[in-house]
Amino acid sequence: MESLPYALLLSLFFLIFGTLILRLFGVPLSMVRIVGGIILMKIGFELFSPSASGGVIPASGADQSGNIAFVPLAMPLMCGPGAIATILGMTATIKRSSAELASFVAIVAAIFATMVVTYLCLAYAGKLFDKLGAMGIDAITRIVGFFVSAMGVALIFDGIIEALQTHGVTILR
């Protein structure tokens, strides 16, 4: 849970400076969405697929004696590529909004609300584990992995459509 303040600060950093960083390196937002989606989809597949030990897959180099659920679950999902791509996408919509300040405040409120919900989930994780057991946690991890993968595919899809439209290809709906 000590990573929550860092995730909050990283989220706010990308909200404020993300567009500038993209411009500085000449990276279009559509490409950030595609790469963020690929990474998010990979994380989801890892959560969905069973590991050799039958439990949650630890990240490579993770300390096996520590809390393995932290590395693959908490940090990449709190402020990982999917979250950064989403924040950058929301930042792009602020400039097109007639109420820029209200949009900015709404995004900051959403980031804070996300961190509060994450804190509550992590704070009560032990009690949830006691109630659900290892099999219940495994089932929920796989379901969450499915939805994380679906969010990754959605980011990829949105990035591809945006990239095509940027290059003059029209998409009929």
Q: Which of 81, 84, 83, 61 is nearest to 71 (CA)?
A: 61
Residue 52 has pLDDT above 90, yes or no: no
Phi-psi region at 171: left, alpha or beta (left = phi > 0; alpha = psi -120 to 50): beta
Which pLDDT band, with edges at 50, 70 and 90, does 97 fall under?
low
Domain ranges, ordered by start, for the chain: 4-166
Residue 64 has pLDDT above 50, yes or no: no
Model pTM score: 0.72
Identify whether the C-beta of residue 88 lies closer than 8 Å to the C-beta of residue 96: no
The top-scoring range by mean pLDDT among 3-7, 65-69, 113-117 is 113-117
C-alpha neighbours within 13 Å on the C-beta side of residue 133? 2
Q: Which of 93, 131, 128 is nearest to 110 (CA)?
A: 93
